[in-house]
Amino acid sequence: MMFGRESLAGVEDLIHRAYLNKLVGEEGLRIVDNIPEEEITDERLAEITGISLNTVRRTLYLLYEHRLAKYKRKRDPDSGWLTYLWKICPENFDKALESETKRLIRKLEERMDYEKSNIFYACSEGCARFVFDEASETDFICPFCQGSLEYMENSKVVDTIEKQVKYLEICL
């Protein structure tokens, strides 16, 4: 994984960029793209990118929380002020991505359990989907549009979730 001014290439780097975009957004990506290999202050990074200091700091702290950045504090001997010097940790990227993949698998498995353990009814007008208990409470009438609630087969939903889980497990 290459950060900073070097260009990202290949599928792995596209996945890393997509993860970073989800984590810190477009402005955050611009910040990451401008972090040099050597340490840099948040103020200097805000200067270079033209992005507000608050956004730069928020981005750096998000990266820090996910172990994708680290900082070193340095005290100015004259003023006593603390300066934070930031650096990207590309060596931790794969571990962060693996952790995110495991989290996603857990969420998909929870959703699959929910889909498998419930019977669903959907509004004939497409308003919403309800579990059996909710549908029976309204006498199988949609509470939003008064349309009828009809049995909904969800085996395709379960199959799709199972395929996604298997794919993600292969990626680990």
Summarised one tens digit per residue, pLDDT across range 14-70 is 888 899 999 999 999 999 999 999 999 999 999 999 999 999 999 999 999 999 999
**Three-class DSSP category at 97:** helix
- CB-side exposure of 79: number of CA atoms within 13 Å? 6
Q: Please say whether the structural domain 10-88 has been given the CATH code 1.10.10.10.
A: yes
pTM summary value: 0.72
| CA separation for the pair 122, 44 (Å, rounded) | 55
Q: Where are the domains of the chain?
A: 10-88, 96-171
